[in-house]
Amino acid sequence: MTDTATQIVCPACDATNRVPEGRPAGEAKCGKCHAPLFSAEPLALTDQTFDKHISRNDIPVLVDFWAAWCGPCRMMAPEFAKATAQLEPEVRMAKLDTEAAQQVATRYNIMSIPTLVLFHQGKEVARQSGALPAGHIIQWVRETLRD
């Protein structure tokens, strides 16, 4: 008998959780802090939390690299939130403020914002720059993961 589980990093306390196969991830709670593992809202990442969420989640992670002063970023924010409600729990949806997390933004060579970067198993698999409506975000993620 194989013990197949999916690792999901808690958005509240950053603990890594094992969600057993067959258990709906959307209903799972953190074993450490008991917070829901998914809330249908984007997770705010920092320089300190970014690597853990990218490398320890077994599911893909879509990161919106943005900044508060960026008009297109502010326009896309509600669209990204709508996409989050549609894509979670199959994809962890996260945002990274490039002004507050300059180390990560520099490491990934973020030259324009907003930029969406899709990570899977700790590696970048796709990138898309520019503001997109929710439908296009969802379509792009699903097509990319299908390939």
Exposed, middle or buried: residue 21 (CB in 10 Å: 0-12, 13-18, 19+)?
Answer: exposed
Within 10 angstroms of residue 62's Cβ, the number of other Cβ atoms is: 27
Which entry of 13, 30, 33, 73 is annotated as an active-site residue? 73
* C-alpha 133 chain-centroid distance: 17
Active-site residue identified among 10, 13, 33, 70? 70
SS3 133: coil
The yes-or-no answer on residue 70 being catalytic is yes
Provide the 8-state DSSP code for 100: T
Distance CA 119, CA 131 (A): 19
Please name every residue paired with 129 in a beta bridge, in sequence order, or none if there are none. Answer: 115
73 a catalytic residue: yes
* Torsion sign, CA atoms 130, 133, 135, 141: positive
- Residues with active-site annotation: 70, 73
